[in-house]
Structure 1
């Protein structure tokens, strides 16, 4: 049985996938994906198009992404076009990259019991809504 650290999968530029992808290995995408991706590491080619959420330990994006991104280490290259919210621990963006969405650092994005307390209106706060707190 091969070790996950040495395996990777490639989705070629002539491939279109409609559906979610889950991989324990690294994933290189040059084709089109309509669905969510969950993998250890994602490398996206310039001609690639992903419509759906991305969850990865590390991601290097160069194509078009429409959907939210969650990655511990994220690199957005100059050719990337991203429409969606970005959650990260470490972030690198090359000059010229296009991002239309909100950025949230992972440490500030954790949902805690205190963040779930209802505001003055009595309506519970949504986990997706941005939170503002004071640090003393």
Structure 2
């Protein structure tokens, strides 16, 4: 990253072995053997990622072997994903391939309804 750049690029001839954590957007054209955590991920068609991906948004176009956790996810026609996928919104282009389970991230957590058998963990009383 140079200066005030808001994205980093991993070129097609680069191989990274290890985890990547970035607060900025990341564009991967090379190979990553490790987990990726970033704000936004764009994966090139010829690239491969062997590890888990966690991002606010991800656009996958290459090969992924690992889980994907993204709020907004796009799987392009050239993508080959092997692993479980967790998302809020998803787009899968015709031809995109996923071998794994899909799980929608619910924004709403259902409230628990107390039954008459439940006893409070803490009870306050005034004297």
Deviation for aligned residue 1:27: 0.1
Q: Which runs of 5 or more residues in structure 1 are unaligned? A: 115-136
Moved over 3 A (4+): none
* Equivalence for 1:33: 32
Deviation for aligned residue 1:7: 0.7
Root-mean-square deviation (CA), in Å? Answer: 2.0
Considering only CA atoms, is the larger Rg found in Structure 1 or Structure 2?
2
Per-residue CA deviations over 1:39-70 (Å, capped at 9, x if unaligned) read 00000000000000000000000000000000
TM-score (norm 2): 0.81
Deviation for aligned residue 1:71: 0.1
Aligned residues: 110
* Equivalence for 2:47: 48
Higher normalized helix content (fraction of residues): 1
Deviation for aligned residue 1:93: 0.2
Q: Which runs of 5 or more residues in structure 2 are unaligned? A: 113-127
The equivalences for 1:49-64 within 5 A come to 49-64=48-63
Per-residue CA deviations over 1:67-125 (Å, capped at 9, x if unaligned) read 000000000000000000000000000000111000000118x7x9x8xxxxxxxxxxx
* Equivalence for 1:71: 70
What secondary structure does 2:58 align onto? Answer: strand
What secondary structure does 1:14 align onto? Answer: coil
Cα distance in structure 2, aligned partners of 1:38 and 1:90: 18
Cα distance in structure 2, aligned partners of 1:75 and 1:7: 21
